[in-house]
Structure 1
Amino acid sequence: MKTILRFNLLLLFVSTSVFSNTIKVKGHITCGNEHIPFANVSINDGQKGVYSDDHGHFLIELEEGKTYTFLISVVGYKDMIKEFKPTRSNHDIHFNLSKDYLELNEVIVSSSRRSQSRQETSSVVNVVGSDFLIKNNFKVVAEGLNYIPGTRVESTCGNCGSSQLRLNGLEGPYTQILIDSRPLFNGLVGVYGLEQIPVAMIDQIEVVRGGGSVLYGANAIGGTVNIITKSPQFNSYEVGTNFGTIDGKSHDYSAYFNTSLVSKNDKTSSYIYGSYRNRDAWNANPNDIYYRLDEDGNTIGEPIKDDFSELTAMKTLSLGTKVYHQFSEYNKVSMDVKYTHDKRRGGNKLDQPKEEADITEAIDMHIGTAMLNHDWYSKSNKLHLNNYFSGQYVHRDSYYGAHQQKDGFGLTTGKTIVAGSQLNINLGNVLNGRSYFVTGVEYINDQINDKKLSYFDEELGKVTDDATVSDQISNTYAVFAQNEWMSNRWSVLIGARWDFVDIVDNQNQQNNKSVNSINPRINLKYKLNDNMQLRGGFATGFRAPQMFSEDLHIEVTSGQGVRTQLDPNLKPESSISYNLAWDFDKTFGHVQTYFLIEGFYTKIKDRFDNQYDYLEDGTLILFKRNSTSDAVVQGVNLEGRIAPNEKLSFQAAYTVQTSMYEEENQWGDEETSTSKHILRTPNQYGSLSADYNITSQWSVSMTGVYTGSMYVPYLPGGFIDGELTTDEELIDTEQFFDMGIKVSYLTKLSKSANIQIGAGVKNIFNQMQSTFVSGIDKDAAFVYGPITPRMFYIDLRIGNLLN
């Protein structure tokens, strides 16, 4: 019996070995005589994948006689695409890559919702990788975005630390921010979100300027920022810490870890990360003085030294994991779970209860996010179906108040659900070119409930009721489709998206709105020769009239009842945008160069305009209507990169633009406070960076951000140089150049781990706004220029893949 059993097992082994239709393909990745470790091997647009080992080899099972498309990508080398049909006699494949010092060939997904080389895209896409973020000591996403042409991050409140991202001069609400291509940034999270995403979880950031509503929905008028999180690659780990100080008293400390685990059969893998940041508050003008005011607005008492923060105290904890499992060659699933706790406080008397300070703006925010993806591929490799479901829950306790108000406490909750399905079809050769069709449906549910909490009113002798500021539900139903055709010289992308947005205001049924919007997109690319190409695009966009605005808390801190009201004839904002770009990529001997010139034009019609009014009972009405003046933003983005060799590289970007209303627009309370300028938008701004690898162990990096002059509104109520200000004023600001430098040393810690030690300075010349305001009633939004003053820092990184 045992003999028969052994014979059957031997027969089974022989039959599966001889007659199996799968073959183990051996791969070898080099650059000349150099082996390339840890290269990403993607097969059939992500259907299968593996990474090369530390010697540049990989092993993967594929079906015999079937044609596969291999895409090899690794930082510092040009991507290589090769088709391969494995057979019993031909199962070895070799890839010899070329150096790419300027990293121009990244694989991106934001341009057309499918993976492709950045140089293949029909629209201009800029990419910031994790290496650049970590190398320059950036802790969060916001710090790295200033180094992309046409992109600028600014602080919008000195008390709460909110910020916004501007693309091509347009304000934050006109930029669609995505996480792994999902629109999870609602109005509640958006103003803080870019400072809540740690670098530890980032693979790369992709930016597409100009209208992009065709693929990603509302708010993509200025452009789209897609934050791609890291995926498990191979067994690896990294831990790091950073300590910075501004003046020896205000410190900024952070620590992080990440690890990637991959099973032996490469079917299951996970990426786990965590980060913690603790930043002290900082006061820019501690020697300035202010006075208290009586009921008539006259100064009383002795002068008081300023103790209000310009940099908000902040504690942020982030934890997350991403898990992949491949059931077969044609089915795989991934799950992503994140948790963020963000606690920040600005104002004065930070060691006392919030309601006992003269000014306090504080949030305590918990954010939980879960994302589920399923990918199915057809056996012919022509079809790729992606089904996705994402959810986010936000719980935020807040206090916004002045003059020791007892009624400044608030509670805001937000729920966001994104679900959809997308089908990618490879149509093969059509009219002597390759054709790809993408279509899909998407559903977005966004719920926000915002209220001021009850408190005990000593004068009334009773507890007041909660006051609802906003209670809204928004449902978006969308269908999109596009086709991209590519020949040797031409690329043509044509698409459209239909959105139906249904908005329900549970606080005021008169605010209920339904909006239909169809937005087309056309992009063309023409390859002039092997080194030059032209890209042009046209797109429309829209923005639905949401009632909730986080900016409301900055403008309203007195705790009175607030009601939102929409104009019965309110229309959605709409936009039309054009762009034309020329880029040049050529290697002269060993010197690699890249240059880009991009012109852009965006016109926005029916801009939302907020007007404030008071009812007899003291209730504040926020009335949202359409402005009678359209806005036009136009200009030129310039970018240049040069790498004389693999040790040295330079990158620079510069934008020249105008941002104007077609008619005078009121920005303050007074009728004479009008301007045609879109405020807080400089007409010129740019950035530069340089990297020099002195030796294999020593390296130095330098960064700089230039911000030109701009018009910034100042509202009265605070003290400047000890004098009470009583007039509204439009300030023409000074120019700024925020420069930083870092030196790093890398060495072996053990056989399987390296250690890197770095030290540097941010904002070397301490470029800050020249005028700061003091006093309890100061204008918190009067902030401009660099966010962080001069800071000295040291950092430490330990990992098995540091190089």
Structure 2
Amino acid sequence: MKHKKGILTTTYLLFSVLLCFGQSASIKGRITDKEGKPIVGATLLLKPSNTKTATDSLGNYIFQHITANTYTVEAKHIGYKSKRSSIKVNTTAAIVDLSLSEIMENNLDEVVISGTMKEVSKLESPIPVEVYSAKFFRANPSPSIFEGLQTVNGVRPQLNCNVCNTGDIHINGLEGPYTMVMIDGMPIVSGLSTVYGLSGIPMSLVDRVEIVKGPASTLYGSEAVGGIINIITKRPSSAPLLSADVYGTTWAEFNADIGGRFKVGKKANSLLGINYFNYQNPIDNNKDNFTDVTLQNRISVFNKWSFDRKDNRVFNLAGRYLYEDRWGGEMNWNKKYRGGEEVYGESVYTSRWEFFGTYQLPVKEKIMFQFSANGHNQNSAYGGDIFIAKQYIGFGQLTWDKTVGRHDLLAGLSYRFTYYDDNTPATAVNDSIRMDQVKKTRLPGLFLQDEITLNANNKLLLGLRYDHNSIHGNILTPRISYKWNSPDKNNIIRLSMGNGYRVANVFTEEHATITGARKVVFLNNLKPETSWNANLNYVRKIFIGSALLNVDATAFYTYFTNKIIPDYDTNPSEIIFDNLNGNAVSKGLSVNLDMSFTNGLKILAGGTVMDVQSTEDGVTTRQIKTERFSGTWNIGYTFHRLGLTVDYTGNVVGPMRLVLIGDHDPRRPYSPWWSVQNIQLTKKIGHQFELYGGVKNLLNWTVNKGNPFVIARAHDPFDKEVVFDNTGNPTVVPGVNPYGLKFDPDGYSYGPNQGIRGFLGLRYTIR
């Protein structure tokens, strides 16, 4: 009997254990922000099973069918610090609620997407990504992203025209066409809009800006040679219910940003933003009878939608429309002189629309379809020369995101179609086949990326892209990156190498000088511009008492071949295009220091030392309008009891080689050291109002300092008194043209013409 009883007891215990192991449990909870509001679409990772899920429209999540064990739940979402919690699970439902805090600028734990086209914490990304939040840009308010980037280390807005004030953005000394500008990962700036599109991006829609320095063509294709500027817009579900930001300056500039979110039905959220900028006060402080700053009247409307779908699948749509009327020129110019040769003015009408979105396919695998389309219409008058152009770009991309063991895979197919036409000789070719090539460019491509987690401290990223350009043929761009971090993650080393390429749009990038009966000549079949890049990045987190110091240093080297340089000098009746017979090099060192103190002081400072040059036929030349040193700073201190914040921002730029237009040109061949500095006071009034004001360009620095003039022969803009020789060059005429120059409004532009000014503004927010 005792023997039978023992068998029954043992059988019962074994059955109970098996039953216990056979039963499944669950972990569920809710993810909220510090105010208790649900965070929609947050990513949840369950370790050690590496199972993923996401929160629904109420911030709820659940992991089902798990066995008894000890688990760690990690929650992540863009714009918030990730958070973890461990729990021991038996056979019942366990509850883990987490509250996420908003990130601070450049925090190592925030989520980024630009480096690998996936959501990943900045700490874990094998590609170095710099992140700047909306709060960073509010320290020096500006009406557009173009001006807002002036205090970002290694990134410099470059003015290219003293009259129309157009420009581009340089990254580590490389010109604007080498930088890809995107909104929510979709390319928006290229061709025509490289020159005119940047000023129309309102700050009201910006949640943060991610910057990748160095070639990223493996993922993003053409134009991503120098780097990426990815403007991430606010989420409709978490944006303020209503926001308004209005300010004016002592120069009579006026800027207004108004935004709001609303819900349509149970599954749709929408964000609407409107930006209006107006400046209609001609000022001529340098006394050359030309406006110091272009007069502008600009409106931009942005609308973004997000839709709740089954299993938290993604579906976002967004659109933007921009209209701008700008002019600069002689002080007595008005629109009746547009296109004539009586009074000189540069008048630009810009009309631009954009539409883009992301749709996750309703399948088990994570497959995303991203798309964008934009149209850009330009009507410009440069004195008596009329430039009319239109450009349409369509883009579609399908990506598949799959994790297999230690391999985090991303595969994609893309297609880009570009249509461009203008009224210049550049597109007025007689050959109908060539005409079709000029106006229409097709660019299908495919890419594959594998991010391999070797162990807790080491990652390896491999990438390869193949494109087929309808003009240039096949293009292959590989890259490899390696990341090491110390066990405490206070030290990170990243080493990246890769290839970038750019299919130059020669018919838009030099359009200001294509204004005569010039014949377009191609000496050879143009090849895509290519670059090979290597950079070494080191990040160090240092705790100094109660303060935290982040050090981010990068050494970079880029080698370019096949650069396309238009030749206007060999024959005055021709535009000659050919690839560079040599190479170009960009190399240097960039360091960012980010220090935060518990007493409210925050310091972000950086410096970049670089050398950018080209070599052709054995002759090495320093690149024009490229400094060898630049530095930036953003220092803020908050008096918590007073609700008052002081922000001191600025930059310093070293000498750069400038364009002189004659042997007797009396202007400086190199710019001096120069700096633009700003100060701002911000006072909180209750929970909804902020009053701010300050002074921009404290040192009152402008490009005319130390020069006899900025615009060559501003008193004779139509060259009526210029005598030309048999080769078409101006000659020296004592008393009339003592320097032998012709009218040139653009060549010597490199910095601001706008001096010191005060500003005052008010922000209103309902959350």
CA–CA distance in structure 2, aligned partners of residues 661 and 147 of structure 1: 27
The alpha carbon displacement at 1:185 in A equals: 1.6
Among residues 165, 168, 173, which one is paired with 1:169 in the alignment? Answer: 173
Mapped contact 1:664–1:676 kept (Cα < 8 A): no
The alpha carbon displacement at 1:146 in A equals: 2.9
Change in Cα spacing, 1:654 to 1:329, as seen in structure 2 (3 Å) is same
Aligned position for 1:761? 695
Q: Does 1:497 align with 2:458?
A: no
CA–CA distance in structure 2, aligned partners of residues 524 and 65 of structure 1: 36
Q: Does 1:351 align with 2:334?
A: yes
Among residues 577, 580, 584, which one is paired with 2:533 in the alignment? Answer: 577
Mapped contact 1:29–1:97 kept (Cα < 8 A): no
Change in Cα spacing, 1:791 to 1:62, as seen in structure 2 (3 Å) is same
Mapped contact 2:580–2:616 kept (Cα < 8 A): no
Q: Does 1:439 align with 2:392?
A: no
Mapped contact 1:215–1:480 kept (Cα < 8 A): yes
**What letter matches 1:238 in structure 2?**
S
CA–CA distance in structure 2, aligned partners of residues 332 and 78 of structure 1: 21
Aligned position for 1:336? 318
CA–CA distance in structure 1, aligned partners of residues 519 and 128 of structure 2: 42
Residues 19-38 of structure 1 aligned to structure 2 (within 5 Å): 25-27=28-30
The alpha carbon displacement at 1:90 in A equals: 2.3
The alpha carbon displacement at 1:780 in A equals: 2.0
Change in Cα spacing, 1:91 to 1:473, as seen in structure 2 (3 Å) is same
Among residues 594, 604, 609, which one is paired with 1:651 in the alignment? Answer: 604
Among residues 362, 368, 386, which one is paired with 2:368 in the alignment? Answer: 386
Residues 442-591 of structure 1 aligned to structure 2 (within 5 Å): 442-451=414-423, 472-486=439-453, 487-502=455-470, 513-530=471-488, 531-553=490-512, 555-556=513-514, 559-591=515-547
**What letter matches 1:482 in structure 2?**
Q
CA–CA distance in structure 2, aligned partners of residues 28 and 180 of structure 1: 24
Aligned position for 1:244? 249
The alpha carbon displacement at 1:560 in A equals: 2.6
**What letter matches 1:355 in structure 2?**
G
Mapped contact 2:457–2:484 kept (Cα < 8 A): yes
Among residues 383, 390, 393, which one is paired with 1:416 in the alignment? Answer: 393
CA–CA distance in structure 2, aligned partners of residues 253 and 65 of structure 1: 59
Mapped contact 1:24–1:59 kept (Cα < 8 A): no
Mapped contact 2:272–2:302 kept (Cα < 8 A): yes
Deviations 1:676-711 (A, max 9, x none): 101100000010001111125211111011111111
CA–CA distance in structure 2, aligned partners of residues 157 and 86 of structure 1: 70
Count residues with an aligned counterpart. Answer: 685
Q: For structure 1, which segment, 370-379 or 63-72, has the greater mean C-alpha deviation from structure 2 after superposition?
A: 63-72
CA–CA distance in structure 1, aligned partners of residues 123 and 555 of structure 2: 18
**What letter matches 1:420 in structure 2?**
Q
The alpha carbon displacement at 1:129 in A equals: 1.1
CA–CA distance in structure 2, aligned partners of residues 656 and 614 of structure 1: 35
Aligned position for 2:723? none
**What letter matches 1:332 in structure 2?**
V
Change in Cα spacing, 1:111 to 1:621, as seen in structure 2 (3 Å) is same
Deviations 1:375-406 (A, max 9, x none): 13755xxx3111122111112211122xxx3x
Change in Cα spacing, 1:38 to 1:132, as seen in structure 2 (3 Å) is farther
Residues 39-438 of structure 1 aligned to structure 2 (within 5 Å): 42-43=42-43, 48-49=54-55, 59-60=59-60, 62=62, 64-65=64-65, 70-73=74-77, 78-81=81-84, 89-95=93-99, 103-234=107-238, 236-246=241-251, 251-262=252-263, 265=266, 267-280=267-280, 282-287=282-287, 306-329=288-311, 331-348=313-330, 349-353=332-336, 354-356=338-340, 357-376=342-361, 379=364, 383-401=365-383, 405=384, 408-427=385-404, 429-430=405-406, 435-438=407-410
CA–CA distance in structure 1, aligned partners of residues 103 and 210 of structure 2: 22
CA–CA distance in structure 1, aligned partners of residues 138 and 243 of structure 2: 12
Mapped contact 2:588–2:611 kept (Cα < 8 A): yes
Mapped contact 1:391–1:417 kept (Cα < 8 A): yes
TM-score norm. by structure 2 comes to: 0.83
Mapped contact 1:714–1:779 kept (Cα < 8 A): no
The alpha carbon displacement at 1:22 in A equals: 13
CA–CA distance in structure 1, aligned partners of residues 598 and 403 of structure 2: 39
**What letter matches 1:778 in structure 2?**
D
**What letter matches 2:291 in structure 1?**
S
Mapped contact 2:43–2:77 kept (Cα < 8 A): no
Mapped contact 2:247–2:762 kept (Cα < 8 A): yes
**What letter matches 1:635 in structure 2?**
G
Counting aligned pairs with the same residue, the percent is 21
Change in Cα spacing, 1:316 to 1:263, as seen in structure 2 (3 Å) is same
Q: Secondary structure at the match of 1:645?
A: coil
Mapped contact 1:39–1:72 kept (Cα < 8 A): no
Q: Does 1:709 align with 2:655?
A: yes
Deviations 1:253-274 (A, max 9, x none): 0111111224685x32111111
Deviations 1:191-224 (A, max 9, x none): 1222110000111111111111100001222111
Change in Cα spacing, 1:86 to 1:323, as seen in structure 2 (3 Å) is farther
Q: Secondary structure at the match of 2:468?
A: strand
Deviations 1:564-599 (A, max 9, x none): 332333222111110001110133342111012210
**What letter matches 1:481 in structure 2?**
L
Residues 585-664 of structure 1 aligned to structure 2 (within 5 Å): 585-612=541-568, 620-645=573-598, 647-663=600-616
Deviations 1:731-783 (A, max 9, x none): 111011111010011112xxxx6111111111101111223233311332311
- The gaps in structure 2 that reach 5 residues or longer are 1-23, 46-51, 426-434, 718-742
Change in Cα spacing, 1:700 to 1:686, as seen in structure 2 (3 Å) is same
Change in Cα spacing, 1:164 to 1:599, as seen in structure 2 (3 Å) is same
Q: Does 1:735 align with 2:694?
A: no
Deviations 1:238-288 (A, max 9, x none): 012110123xxxx210111111224685x321111111001236545453x
- The gaps in structure 1 that reach 5 residues or longer are 1-20, 52-57, 288-305, 454-467, 503-512, 666-673, 717-724
Mapped contact 2:39–2:55 kept (Cα < 8 A): no
Mapped contact 2:180–2:190 kept (Cα < 8 A): no
CA–CA distance in structure 2, aligned partners of residues 796 and 257 of structure 1: 12
Q: For structure 1, which segment, 270-279 or 104-113, has the greater mean C-alpha deviation from structure 2 after superposition?
A: 104-113
Q: CA RMSD of the aligned region, Å?
A: 3.1
CA–CA distance in structure 2, aligned partners of residues 83 and 378 of structure 1: 31
**What letter matches 2:552 in structure 1?**
L
**What letter matches 2:661 in structure 1?**
L
CA–CA distance in structure 2, aligned partners of residues 313 and 152 of structure 1: 22
TM-score norm. by structure 1 comes to: 0.79
Change in Cα spacing, 1:174 to 1:25, as seen in structure 2 (3 Å) is same
Mapped contact 2:167–2:195 kept (Cα < 8 A): yes
The alpha carbon displacement at 1:333 in A equals: 1.8
Mapped contact 1:313–1:345 kept (Cα < 8 A): yes
The alpha carbon displacement at 1:326 in A equals: 2.2
CA–CA distance in structure 1, aligned partners of residues 78 and 355 of structure 2: 29
The alpha carbon displacement at 1:653 in A equals: 0.8
The alpha carbon displacement at 1:135 in A equals: 3.4
Change in Cα spacing, 1:61 to 1:88, as seen in structure 2 (3 Å) is farther
The alpha carbon displacement at 1:528 in A equals: 3.1
The alpha carbon displacement at 1:479 in A equals: 0.5
Q: Secondary structure at the match of 1:713?
A: coil
CA–CA distance in structure 2, aligned partners of residues 98 and 255 of structure 1: 26
Q: For structure 1, which segment, 172-181 or 204-213, has the greater mean C-alpha deviation from structure 2 after superposition?
A: 172-181
Change in Cα spacing, 1:727 to 1:374, as seen in structure 2 (3 Å) is same
**What letter matches 1:237 in structure 2?**
L
**What letter matches 1:258 in structure 2?**
G
